Amino acid sequence: MLVGKRGRPRTFDRTVALHRAMDVFWQRGYEGASMTDLTGAMGIASPSLYAAFGSKEKLFREAVSLYNEVEGRVPQQVLRDAPTAREGIAGWLRHHARAYLDPARPTGCLVALAATTISAENEPVRQFVAECRQADVADIKRRLDRGVESGDVPASTDTAAVAEYFYAVSLGMAVRARDGVSGRTLHAIAEAALVAWDQVLDAARD
């Protein structure tokens, strides 16, 4: 009686297919990725996609979640495990300078690029991605707050503002990566953002 694996089993790996969909959304954005693009890359027909994921929008949301897990794991770990907030953020930003031009993946960042502008009917999708960006900023802010607790960040620091600053730099790097700038350029941007840590923190006070 218990629901097990009754019925005809899937002929494709759901996780593999989701990875393929993630790559398409990463390359083309939400609206730029057609169902034909998606089913082609996923190696399945349209009804299989709908049976497994529900709709294009639900597939996108799952793909973004997967992106956050897979592509975000290393930089988040760097951010978390570094001995100071400064080293954590520096490692996080330098990671992105490399990752955004990784030849094995689409350039730039899915969350930064995939839905900055959108048609009126898909506005909820833009909203969703905007919330993902907000969550990323919150991650950086939390690391700065931890730095305040452990003493490597001044207590008077407006950690939210500092987090917004470094996140804005990473967003710009993602756009410029997609534009085709060199890794040297991307790293120069990151180093310029990081060079004046003390002044940046000093300028941002509550």
What character string, x for contact with a copy of itself (CB under 8 A) and - otherwise, covers 139-178? -------------------x-xxx-xx-xxxxxxx-xx-x
Q: Which of a copy of itself, DNA, none lies near 176, with the C-beta cut-off 5 to 8 A by kind?
A: a copy of itself
The phi and psi torsions of 126 (rounded to 5 degrees) equal: -60, -45
Return d(Cα 24, Cα 115) in angstroms, integer.
13
**In the complex, minimum distance from the CB of residue 195 to a copy of itself, in angstroms, rounded to a whole number:** 4
Considering only 51, 74, 135, 203, the residue that binds a copy of itself (CB under 8 A) is 203
What's at 53, amino acid-wise? Answer: F
Q: With CB cut-offs between 5 and 8 Å by kind, which of a copy of itself, DNA, none does residue 55 bind?
A: DNA
Residues 109-138: x/- map of binding to a copy of itself (CB under 8 A)? ---xxxxxxxxx-x-------x--xx----
Q: What type of residue sits at position 154?
A: P
Residue 57 binding target from DNA, a copy of itself, none, CB below 5 to 8 Å by type:
DNA
Phi and psi torsions of 91, nearest 5°:
-65, -40
44 binds, among a copy of itself, DNA, none (CB under 5 to 8 A by kind): DNA
Q: Is 21 or 189 the residue whose CB approaches DNA more closely?
A: 21
- The reply on whether position 27 binds a copy of itself by CB under 8 A is yes
Q: Identify each DSSP E strand in 64-119 by its residue range.
A: none
Distance CA 2, CA 108 (A): 45
Which residue is it, tokens 């089913």? 39
Beta-strand (E) ranges in 104-165? none
Residue 49 or 189 with smaller CB distance to a copy of itself: 189
Beta carbons of 167 and 140 less than 8 angstroms apart: yes
For tokens 């393929």, name the residue: 20
141 binds, among DNA, a copy of itself, none (CB under 5 to 8 A by kind): none
Distances 109 to 10, 68, 134, 156, 177 between C-alpha atoms, Å: 31, 10, 15, 32, 9
What's the rounded Cα separation, in Å, for the pair 80 and 145?
A: 12
Q: Binding residues for a copy of itself, per CB under 8 A?
A: 27-34, 37, 108, 112-120, 122, 130, 133-134, 158, 160-162, 164-165, 167-173, 175-176, 178-181, 185, 188-189, 191-193, 195-196, 199-200, 202-204
